[in-house]
Amino acid sequence: DAGVIQSPRHEVTEMGQEVTLRCKPISGHDYLFWYRQTMMRGLELLIYFNNNVPIDDSGMPEDRFSAKMPNASFSTLKIQPSEPRDSAVYFCASRPGLVLGGELFFGEGSRLTVL
């Protein structure tokens, strides 16, 4: 299996522009998570899905952020409009639907810089 695939790996954009980050989870995994990592705030959970349904989006910072999972093999995280404080590494991760949780498999991350 190719693992969790994220794109783009790096994105540099200007304030006010729309940013779309993409994720392909590991086939057969029921859960998909989006995290944001910064030096100041560490690894923050933004939103996660179970069988394509959003379960908890309480970590989404504000209405500028939205996430979708139209099918089991694809998810997007969109920021519109982007701001410099959104600069961070965004990780997508997936895992099987085990009762005790199980190992979370991370993508390589998308490094976003908003100028």
Partner 1 sequence: QKEVEQNSGPLSVPEGAIASLNCTYSDRGSQSFFWYRQYSGKSPELIMSIYSNGDKEDGRFTAQLNKASQYVSLLIRDSQPSDSATYLCAVNTWAAGNKLTFGGGTRVLVKP
Residues that bind partner 1 (CB under 8 A): 31, 33, 35, 42-43, 45, 48, 50, 55-56, 91, 97, 99-101, 103-104, 106-109
Peptide bond into 81 cis (omega under 30): yes
Q: How far is the CB of 44 from partner 1 (least distance, A)?
A: 8
Report the amino acid identity of residue 81. P
* Nearest to 32, CA basis, from 47, 18, 19: 47
CB of 23 closer than 8 Å to CB of 5: yes
Q: How far is the CB of 93 from partner 1 (least distance, A)?
A: 8
Q: How far is the CB of 98 from partner 1 (least distance, A)?
A: 8
Residue number, 107 or 114, with CB nearest to partner 1? 107
